[in-house]
Amino acid sequence: MLRVDALREIYPELEQHIVVTIMGAVAAELYALGHRPNFFYMEHSMGLASSLGLGLALALPGRQVVVLDGDGSLLMNLGTLTTLARYRPPNLLHIVFDNSSLVSVGGFPTATASGTNLAEMARAAGVPRVLEAETPAQFRTAVTQALARPVMTTLVARVEASGPASYRLDLDLLENRFQFKRYLDSLRSSS
């Protein structure tokens, strides 16, 4: 499965939710599908997208938060799985695109290429629901399932190690930051 096909499959849902992505291919591909003020592309701090998503989900219990993580990023902050499992906000969906590669930096294989299993690690950490997907149809079903019944979920999606032609977003990171903050402020003032 191509990551961009998986993203295209769930874009209508992502449009409606608070979305945090890691940097690199994921950010560029989601941006190319169509930017929204409720999308935050974390262009650094590898590993912390899920921590940022946890802060959002705990602070905004009435809103669905979707984190788009990757194997390289998650491996840099494995402790996050134990923290997500411990506080398990039901409004948090943690999607991990696993391409067994640091594709955005030129393709060094990560530990998942030699047998590390992130879904099993999430289960062993105590994440209440762990799903896996290898095709766009499975991915679609898993996301629908995760959003339908609110239980904190980690979804590990196997994708090919390919990225977009360009990683540039036509959006300054501070512009994204202030737009995202203003969007969340407007949610609070309207609720």
Partner 1 sequence: MPVSLEGARRIYEALKACDIKLVSALPETWLVPLLRLVEADQEMRLVQVAREEESIGIAAGAYFAGLPSIHVMQNHGFLAAINPLVSLAMLYKIPVLLLISYRGSWGERDPWQTQGGLLTEPVLRALTIPYYCLRREDDLTRRLKEAQALALSALHPVAVLLTREVLWEDEEP
Of residues 70 through 99, those in contact with partner 1 by CB under 8 A are: 77, 79-80, 82-83, 86-87
Q: Is 35 in the site for partner 1 (CB under 8 A)?
A: no
CB atoms within 10 A of CB 120: 12
**Cβ(151)–Cβ(17) below 8 Å:** no
Helix (H, G, I), strand (E, B), or coil: what is residue 131? strand
Helix (H, G, I), strand (E, B), or coil: what is residue 108? strand
Q: Is 57 in the site for partner 1 (CB under 8 A)?
A: yes
Q: Is 34 in the site for partner 1 (CB under 8 A)?
A: no
Q: Is 58 in the site for partner 1 (CB under 8 A)?
A: yes
SS3 track for 28-78: HHHHHHCCCCCEEECCCCCCCHHHHHHHHHHHCCCCCEEEEEEHHHHHCCC
Q: How far is CA 23 from CA 46, 151, 173, 180, in A?
A: 8, 26, 11, 16
Q: Which of 33, 60, 113, 161 binds partner 1 (CB under 8 A)?
A: 60
Q: Is 162 in the site for partner 1 (CB under 8 A)?
A: no
Q: Which of 47, 70, 72, 163 binds partner 1 (CB under 8 A)?
A: 47
Question: Among residues 80 and 99, whose Cβ is nearest to partner 1?
Answer: 80
Q: Is 188 in the site for partner 1 (CB under 8 A)?
A: yes
CB atoms within 10 A of CB 31: 20
Question: Among residues 113 and 183, whose Cβ is nearest to partner 1?
Answer: 183
Give the number of residues in contact with partner 1, rule: CB under 8 A.
35
Q: Is 151 in the site for partner 1 (CB under 8 A)?
A: no
Q: Provide the binding-site residues for partner 1, judged by CB under 8 A.
A: 20, 40, 42-45, 47-60, 77, 79-80, 82-83, 86-87, 173-174, 177, 180-181, 184-185, 188
